[in-house]
Amino acid sequence: MLKGKVAVVTGSTSGIGLGIAQALAAEGADLLLNGFGDVEQISALVARVAQECGVKVTHNSATSSRSTRM
């Protein structure tokens, strides 16, 4: 149903956002996940969802913090 479409889901590295992202992927949508978390855990999550659903999955961190000196 969603094959060829891309879903951008914010807050999708855990909880309800992840559930929504997984449901969209199950319907064939490629995903851009956006959220916080441990890089290694998120990499594993991206690989798992892509393999289970046969879709493309990428991640963009939701962090906006930067360490800067003034």
Query: Amino acid identity of 8?
Result: V
d(CA 23, CA 31): 11
* Contacts for 49-52: CB closer than 8 Å, 24+ residues apart: 49/21, 49/22, 49/25, 52/25
Check if the beta carbon of residue 6 is closer than 8 Å to that of residue 30: yes
pTM: 0.84
Mean pLDDT per 10-residue interval, the chain, length 70 residues: 94 94 97 91 95 96 60
d(CA 41, CA 47): 10
